Amino acid sequence: GGFLTTPLLTFYGTPPAVAVAPSATQITGASVSGALAYWRRGQVDLKLGGVLVAGGVVGAGIGQVIFRQLQKIGQIDVSINIIYVVFLGVIGGLMLREALGALLAERKITAGGERPPARLRRHVPWIAALPGKTRFYKSGLYISPLAPLLLGGVVGVLTAIMGVGGGFIMVPAMIYLLGMSASAVVGTSLFQIIFVTAATTLLHATSSKSVDIVLALLLLTGGVAGAQFGVRAAQKLKPEKLRLALALIVLAVAAGLLFGLTVKPAALFTLYGLQ
Protein backbone atom coordinates (compact mmCIF):
# COMPACT_ATOMS: atom_id res chain seq x y z
CA GLY A 1 0.00 0.00 0.00
CA GLY A 2 3.01 2.33 -0.02
CA PHE A 3 2.19 3.48 -3.54
CA LEU A 4 -1.23 4.65 -2.26
CA THR A 5 -0.13 6.33 0.98
CA THR A 6 1.50 9.41 -0.54
CA PRO A 7 -1.31 10.26 -3.02
CA LEU A 8 -3.98 9.66 -0.37
CA LEU A 9 -2.15 11.99 2.01
CA THR A 10 -2.16 14.66 -0.69
CA PHE A 11 -5.94 14.29 -0.96
CA TYR A 12 -6.11 15.19 2.74
CA GLY A 13 -4.18 18.39 2.03
CA THR A 14 -0.66 17.23 2.89
CA PRO A 15 1.89 18.69 0.44
CA PRO A 16 3.37 15.87 -1.68
CA ALA A 17 6.93 16.80 -0.68
CA VAL A 18 5.95 16.44 3.00
CA ALA A 19 3.95 13.23 2.46
CA VAL A 20 6.89 11.30 0.95
CA ALA A 21 9.07 10.87 4.06
CA PRO A 22 6.33 9.79 6.55
CA SER A 23 5.11 7.32 3.94
CA ALA A 24 8.58 5.77 3.73
CA THR A 25 8.77 5.67 7.54
CA GLN A 26 5.45 3.83 7.77
CA ILE A 27 6.60 1.31 5.18
CA THR A 28 9.76 0.63 7.20
CA GLY A 29 7.76 -0.33 10.28
CA ALA A 30 5.30 -2.48 8.36
CA SER A 31 8.09 -4.26 6.47
CA VAL A 32 9.95 -5.22 9.65
CA SER A 33 7.09 -7.35 10.96
CA GLY A 34 6.51 -8.91 7.56
CA ALA A 35 10.19 -9.71 6.98
CA LEU A 36 10.48 -11.33 10.41
CA ALA A 37 7.57 -13.63 9.62
CA TYR A 38 9.19 -14.76 6.37
CA TRP A 39 12.58 -15.03 8.10
CA ARG A 40 11.14 -17.57 10.55
CA ARG A 41 9.92 -19.63 7.60
CA GLY A 42 13.35 -19.53 5.95
CA GLN A 43 12.04 -17.56 2.98
CA VAL A 44 14.52 -14.66 2.96
CA ASP A 45 17.59 -14.81 0.69
CA LEU A 46 20.12 -12.74 2.65
CA LYS A 47 22.76 -12.89 -0.08
CA LEU A 48 20.47 -11.57 -2.78
CA GLY A 49 18.84 -9.19 -0.30
CA GLY A 50 22.24 -7.72 0.56
CA VAL A 51 22.92 -6.94 -3.11
CA LEU A 52 19.48 -5.36 -3.47
CA VAL A 53 20.06 -3.27 -0.34
CA ALA A 54 23.44 -2.04 -1.63
CA GLY A 55 21.89 -0.89 -4.90
CA GLY A 56 18.84 0.51 -3.12
CA VAL A 57 20.80 2.68 -0.69
CA VAL A 58 22.88 4.15 -3.52
CA GLY A 59 19.71 4.72 -5.53
CA ALA A 60 18.05 6.41 -2.55
CA GLY A 61 20.98 8.82 -2.38
CA ILE A 62 20.60 9.64 -6.08
CA GLY A 63 16.84 10.02 -5.69
CA GLN A 64 17.32 12.38 -2.76
CA VAL A 65 19.57 14.60 -4.91
CA ILE A 66 16.88 14.70 -7.62
CA PHE A 67 14.22 15.41 -4.96
CA ARG A 68 16.31 18.26 -3.55
CA GLN A 69 16.85 19.87 -6.95
CA LEU A 70 13.14 19.72 -7.81
CA GLN A 71 12.41 21.20 -4.40
CA LYS A 72 14.80 24.09 -5.01
CA ILE A 73 13.13 25.08 -8.29
CA GLY A 74 9.65 24.82 -6.76
CA GLN A 75 8.43 21.92 -8.91
CA ILE A 76 8.58 19.01 -6.47
CA ASP A 77 4.83 18.81 -5.80
CA VAL A 78 3.74 18.71 -9.44
CA SER A 79 6.61 16.34 -10.30
CA ILE A 80 5.57 13.84 -7.63
CA ASN A 81 1.95 13.99 -8.77
CA ILE A 82 2.88 13.45 -12.43
CA ILE A 83 5.09 10.46 -11.57
CA TYR A 84 2.29 8.96 -9.50
CA VAL A 85 -0.29 9.44 -12.26
CA VAL A 86 1.95 7.57 -14.71
CA PHE A 87 2.89 4.75 -12.32
CA LEU A 88 -0.56 4.25 -10.84
CA GLY A 89 -2.18 4.36 -14.27
CA VAL A 90 0.17 1.70 -15.65
CA ILE A 91 0.08 -0.49 -12.54
CA GLY A 92 -3.69 -0.20 -12.16
CA GLY A 93 -4.22 -1.09 -15.81
CA LEU A 94 -1.95 -4.15 -15.60
CA MET A 95 -3.59 -5.29 -12.36
CA LEU A 96 -7.05 -4.87 -13.86
CA ARG A 97 -6.11 -6.90 -16.93
CA GLU A 98 -4.56 -9.64 -14.79
CA ALA A 99 -7.54 -9.78 -12.41
CA LEU A 100 -10.11 -9.93 -15.21
CA GLY A 101 -8.03 -12.55 -17.02
CA ALA A 102 -7.85 -14.69 -13.87
CA LEU A 103 -11.60 -14.42 -13.30
CA LEU A 104 -12.34 -15.39 -16.91
CA ALA A 105 -9.90 -18.31 -16.71
CA GLU A 106 -11.58 -19.50 -13.50
CA ARG A 107 -14.98 -19.46 -15.19
CA LYS A 108 -13.64 -21.50 -18.11
CA ILE A 109 -12.18 -24.08 -15.71
CA THR A 110 -15.49 -24.24 -13.83
CA ALA A 111 -17.28 -24.77 -17.15
CA GLY A 112 -15.06 -27.75 -17.94
CA GLY A 113 -12.20 -26.09 -19.78
CA GLU A 114 -8.51 -26.87 -19.32
CA ARG A 115 -6.26 -24.93 -16.97
CA PRO A 116 -3.67 -22.85 -18.91
CA PRO A 117 -0.05 -24.09 -18.62
CA ALA A 118 2.11 -22.52 -15.91
CA ARG A 119 4.67 -19.94 -16.99
CA LEU A 120 8.24 -21.23 -17.07
CA ARG A 121 10.85 -19.33 -15.03
CA ARG A 122 13.64 -17.90 -17.15
CA HIS A 123 15.90 -14.87 -17.30
CA VAL A 124 15.61 -11.95 -19.67
CA PRO A 125 18.38 -12.40 -22.32
CA TRP A 126 20.40 -9.31 -21.37
CA ILE A 127 20.38 -10.36 -17.71
CA ALA A 128 21.61 -13.84 -18.62
CA ALA A 129 24.45 -12.23 -20.62
CA LEU A 130 25.83 -10.13 -17.73
CA PRO A 131 29.31 -11.18 -16.51
CA GLY A 132 30.44 -12.37 -13.08
CA LYS A 133 27.66 -14.87 -12.40
CA THR A 134 27.21 -16.27 -8.91
CA ARG A 135 24.73 -18.59 -7.25
CA PHE A 136 21.91 -17.40 -5.02
CA TYR A 137 20.90 -20.79 -3.69
CA LYS A 138 17.78 -19.86 -1.74
CA SER A 139 16.38 -17.95 -4.72
CA GLY A 140 17.34 -20.66 -7.20
CA LEU A 141 19.35 -18.19 -9.31
CA TYR A 142 22.67 -18.28 -11.14
CA ILE A 143 23.05 -14.71 -12.39
CA SER A 144 25.39 -11.73 -12.24
CA PRO A 145 25.04 -9.58 -9.08
CA LEU A 146 24.86 -6.58 -11.43
CA ALA A 147 21.23 -7.40 -12.26
CA PRO A 148 19.83 -7.20 -8.69
CA LEU A 149 22.21 -4.30 -7.99
CA LEU A 150 20.68 -2.27 -10.83
CA LEU A 151 17.17 -3.32 -9.85
CA GLY A 152 17.79 -2.20 -6.28
CA GLY A 153 19.15 1.12 -7.53
CA VAL A 154 16.03 1.86 -9.59
CA VAL A 155 13.78 1.04 -6.65
CA GLY A 156 15.93 3.22 -4.36
CA VAL A 157 15.51 6.23 -6.64
CA LEU A 158 11.73 5.76 -6.72
CA THR A 159 11.61 5.33 -2.94
CA ALA A 160 13.40 8.62 -2.32
CA ILE A 161 11.25 10.58 -4.77
CA MET A 162 7.86 8.94 -4.27
CA GLY A 163 7.98 7.55 -0.72
CA VAL A 164 7.12 4.03 -1.88
CA GLY A 165 8.65 0.78 -0.73
CA GLY A 166 9.05 -0.36 -4.30
CA GLY A 167 7.49 -3.78 -3.75
CA PHE A 168 5.01 -3.21 -6.58
CA ILE A 169 8.00 -3.02 -8.93
CA MET A 170 10.44 -5.25 -7.08
CA VAL A 171 8.27 -8.36 -6.78
CA PRO A 172 7.25 -8.62 -10.48
CA ALA A 173 10.83 -7.79 -11.54
CA MET A 174 12.29 -10.49 -9.28
CA ILE A 175 9.93 -13.07 -10.79
CA TYR A 176 9.78 -12.07 -14.46
CA LEU A 177 13.20 -10.43 -14.98
CA LEU A 178 15.46 -12.34 -12.61
CA GLY A 179 13.50 -15.61 -12.79
CA MET A 180 13.53 -15.93 -9.00
CA SER A 181 11.83 -18.74 -7.10
CA ALA A 182 8.44 -17.52 -5.88
CA SER A 183 8.95 -18.92 -2.37
CA ALA A 184 11.65 -16.36 -1.50
CA VAL A 185 10.39 -13.35 -3.45
CA VAL A 186 8.19 -11.59 -0.89
CA GLY A 187 10.45 -12.13 2.12
CA THR A 188 13.57 -10.95 0.27
CA SER A 189 11.70 -7.93 -1.10
CA LEU A 190 10.55 -6.95 2.41
CA PHE A 191 14.11 -7.37 3.72
CA GLN A 192 15.37 -4.92 1.09
CA ILE A 193 12.53 -2.47 1.71
CA ILE A 194 13.41 -2.15 5.42
CA PHE A 195 16.86 -0.76 4.78
CA VAL A 196 16.07 1.35 1.72
CA THR A 197 13.06 3.09 3.28
CA ALA A 198 15.02 3.64 6.51
CA ALA A 199 17.85 5.20 4.50
CA THR A 200 15.31 7.34 2.62
CA THR A 201 13.80 8.58 5.88
CA LEU A 202 17.25 9.47 7.22
CA LEU A 203 18.19 11.30 4.02
CA HIS A 204 14.97 13.32 4.03
CA ALA A 205 15.39 14.13 7.73
CA THR A 206 18.93 15.43 7.29
CA SER A 207 18.61 17.04 3.86
CA SER A 208 15.11 18.19 2.92
CA LYS A 209 13.88 18.37 6.56
CA SER A 210 10.51 16.96 5.46
CA VAL A 211 9.92 14.22 8.07
CA ASP A 212 6.74 14.85 10.09
CA ILE A 213 7.22 12.61 13.15
CA VAL A 214 3.61 12.89 14.36
CA LEU A 215 2.24 11.99 10.94
CA ALA A 216 4.66 9.07 10.65
CA LEU A 217 3.60 7.68 14.05
CA LEU A 218 -0.07 7.97 13.14
CA LEU A 219 0.57 6.12 9.87
CA LEU A 220 2.48 3.39 11.71
CA THR A 221 -0.34 2.94 14.22
CA GLY A 222 -3.00 2.82 11.52
CA GLY A 223 -0.91 0.47 9.40
CA VAL A 224 -0.52 -2.07 12.20
CA ALA A 225 -4.25 -2.03 12.97
CA GLY A 226 -5.26 -2.09 9.31
CA ALA A 227 -3.00 -5.05 8.59
CA GLN A 228 -5.08 -7.21 10.93
CA PHE A 229 -8.27 -6.39 9.04
CA GLY A 230 -6.44 -6.98 5.76
CA VAL A 231 -5.36 -10.47 6.81
CA ARG A 232 -8.94 -11.40 7.73
CA ALA A 233 -10.30 -10.00 4.48
CA ALA A 234 -7.68 -11.89 2.47
CA GLN A 235 -8.76 -15.15 4.11
CA LYS A 236 -12.42 -14.65 3.18
CA LEU A 237 -12.15 -13.20 -0.34
CA LYS A 238 -10.74 -14.78 -3.48
CA PRO A 239 -7.34 -13.41 -4.62
CA GLU A 240 -8.76 -12.50 -8.04
CA LYS A 241 -11.49 -10.36 -6.48
CA LEU A 242 -8.99 -8.69 -4.15
CA ARG A 243 -6.75 -7.81 -7.11
CA LEU A 244 -9.75 -6.47 -9.01
CA ALA A 245 -10.77 -4.27 -6.07
CA LEU A 246 -7.21 -3.00 -5.60
CA ALA A 247 -6.89 -2.28 -9.33
CA LEU A 248 -10.05 -0.16 -9.26
CA ILE A 249 -8.80 1.72 -6.18
CA VAL A 250 -5.43 2.39 -7.83
CA LEU A 251 -7.08 3.66 -11.02
CA ALA A 252 -9.45 5.86 -9.00
CA VAL A 253 -6.50 7.45 -7.15
CA ALA A 254 -4.67 7.99 -10.45
CA ALA A 255 -7.78 9.66 -11.89
CA GLY A 256 -8.03 11.92 -8.84
CA LEU A 257 -4.40 12.99 -9.16
CA LEU A 258 -4.82 13.57 -12.89
CA PHE A 259 -7.85 15.77 -12.25
CA GLY A 260 -5.84 17.73 -9.69
CA LEU A 261 -3.15 18.37 -12.29
CA THR A 262 -5.72 19.87 -14.67
CA VAL A 263 -6.93 22.41 -12.10
CA LYS A 264 -5.18 25.77 -12.17
CA PRO A 265 -2.79 25.87 -9.17
CA ALA A 266 -2.82 28.67 -6.62
CA ALA A 267 0.86 29.30 -7.47
CA LEU A 268 3.17 28.24 -10.28
CA PHE A 269 5.92 27.36 -7.81
CA THR A 270 5.86 25.65 -4.42
CA LEU A 271 8.73 26.79 -2.22
CA TYR A 272 9.51 25.26 1.15
CA GLY A 273 11.94 26.51 3.72
CA LEU A 274 15.33 25.30 2.46
CA GLN A 275 18.45 25.30 4.58
- The predicted structure's pLDDT at residue 130: 84
- The predicted structure's pLDDT at residue 242: 76
How many beta carbons lie within 10 A of that of residue 124, not counting itself? 13
State yes or no: pLDDT of 86 exceeds 60: yes
State yes or no: pLDDT of 266 exceeds 80: no
**Among 7-11, 119-123, 224-228, the least confident range:** 119-123
Q: In sequence order, which residues have a C-beta less than 8 Å from that of residue 41 and are 6 or more positions away?
A: 187
The sign one gets for the Cα dihedral 33, 12, 253, 261 is negative
Q: Percent of the chain beyond pLDDT 70?
A: 85
102-107 average pLDDT score = 78
12-16 average pLDDT score = 79
The per-residue pLDDT for range 20-64, each reduced to its tens digit, is 878 888 888 778 878 888 888 888 999 999 999 999 999 999 999
* Higher per-residue confidence, 88 vs 266: 88
State yes or no: pLDDT of 117 exceeds 60: no
Q: Identify the bridge partners of residue 134 per DSSP, sorted by sequence position.
A: 143
213-224 average pLDDT score = 81
State yes or no: pLDDT of 104 exceeds 50: yes
State yes or no: pLDDT of 144 exceeds 70: yes
107-131 average pLDDT score = 65
State yes or no: pLDDT of 206 exceeds 90: no
CB 18 within 8 A of CB 5: no
231-236 average pLDDT score = 67
Task: Assign 274 a pLDDT band (cuts: 50, 70, 90).
Answer: very low
d(CA 174, CA 184): 10
- The predicted structure's pLDDT at residue 57: 94
CA–CA–CA angle 32, 37, 40 (5° rounding): 120
- The predicted structure's pLDDT at residue 47: 94
122-141 average pLDDT score = 81
* Higher per-residue confidence, 274 vs 52: 52
d(CA 191, CA 249): 27
Rounded to the nearest integer, the mean pLDDT of the chain is: 81
d(CA 48, CA 140): 11
Task: Assign 231 a pLDDT band (cuts: 50, 70, 90).
Answer: low
198-227 average pLDDT score = 80
SS (H, E, C) the chain: CHHHHHHHHHHCCCCHHHHHHHHHHHHHHHHHHHHHHHHHCCCCCHHHHHHHHHHHHHHHHHHHHHHHHHHHCCCHHHHHHHHHHHHHHHHHHHHHHHHHHHHHHHHHHHCCCCCCCCCCCCCCHHHHCCCCCEEECCCCEEECCHHHHHHHHHHHHHHHHHCCCCHHHHHHHHHHCCCCCHHHHHHHHHHHHHHHHHHHHHHHHHHHCCCCHHHHHHHHHHHHHHHHHHHHHHHHCCHHHHHHHHHHHHHHHHHHHHHHHHCCCCCCCCCCCCC
Task: Assign 1 a pLDDT band (cuts: 50, 70, 90).
Answer: low
d(CA 111, CA 247): 26
State yes or no: pLDDT of 116 exceeds 70: no
* Higher per-residue confidence, 71 vs 150: 150
Using N-to-C axis directions, what is the helix angle for 46-72 and 16-40, rounded to 10°?
180
